[in-house]
Amino acid sequence: TSSSRPFDLQIKLLMIGDSAVGKTSLLLRYANDTFSSTFITTIGIDFKIKTIDLDGKRVKLQIWDTAGQEQFRTITRSYFRGAQGIVLVYDITDRGTFNSVRSWMAQINDHADAQVNRVLIGNKADFETARQVSTEEGQRLADEYGVKFFETSAKNDVNVTECFTTIAREAKARI
């Protein structure tokens, strides 16, 4: 199977952001191509592995998901250890989660390696009628931090592969 084929390099990615923004849903969509409409308790899930072909290399992505600690808006320092890329997610239908992005960026700055790559994601883009954060606001904040920005839908599988491929490619470029 593809998962047992040898790989050229391994990249550690992290999912970060407020509770219920869809971090676990994005990861499951990407790694398993599934979606669950129930709240997924991440307790017991450490990481998922997905091996992809990236610009001629076999790249093994090890993608870590939080186990609910983000409810307290703080994540243990050890979670960040060795991470080469961070997927920072907010929910376009919940302005509070967008307002938290700055504090997550500060935590990344405090705890992650200085050269870590980040990407900003506004998730639940399928839920336009409940939108509270415009695309322009998301893009502006991403520009301020010098990171790429995507609006995604884990539900409808929009931009999910693109966001993981982008962060993997940026991380790979620095290895």
Among 47, 60, 67, 126, indicate the residue that binds ligand GDP (CB under 6 A): 126
Q: Does 21 bind ligand GDP (CB under 6 A)?
A: yes
Neighbours of 26 (CB within 10 A): 27
User: Which residues ranging from 149 to 168 are in contact with ligand GDP (CB under 6 A)?
Assistant: 153-155
Q: How far is the CB of 62 from ligand GDP (least distance, A)?
A: 18
Q: Which residues of 63-102 are buried (b: 16+ CB within 10 A; e: fewer)?
A: bbbbbeebeeeebeeebbeebbbbbbbbbbbbeebbebbe
Q: Does 39 bind ligand GDP (CB under 6 A)?
A: yes
User: Which residues ranging from 58 to 117 are in contact with ligand GDP (CB under 6 A)?
Assistant: none
- 60 within 8 A of 9, measured Cβ to Cβ: yes
Q: Does 48 bind ligand GDP (CB under 6 A)?
A: no
Q: Which does 7 bind (CB under 5 to 8 A by kind): ligand GDP, Mg ion, none?
A: none
39 or 140: whose CB is closer to ligand GDP? 39
Q: Does 31 bind ligand GDP (CB under 6 A)?
A: no
Question: What's the CA gap between 9 and 5, in Å, rounded?
Answer: 12
Query: Using CB atoms within 10 A of its CB, is residue 13 exposed (0-12), middle (13-18) or buried (19+)?
Result: buried
- 17 within 8 A of 133, measured Cβ to Cβ: no
Q: Does 24 bind ligand GDP (CB under 6 A)?
A: yes
- 150 within 8 A of 139, measured Cβ to Cβ: no
Cα-Cα-Cα-Cα torsion 152, 81, 113, 59, nearest 10 degrees, comes to -60
Q: How far is the CB of 92 from Mg ion (least distance, A)?
A: 17
Among 7, 10, 19, 47, indicate the residue that binds ligand GDP (CB under 6 A): 19
Please give the residue ranges that form the binding site for ligand GDP (CB under 6 A): 19-25, 37, 39-40, 42, 123-124, 126-127, 153-155
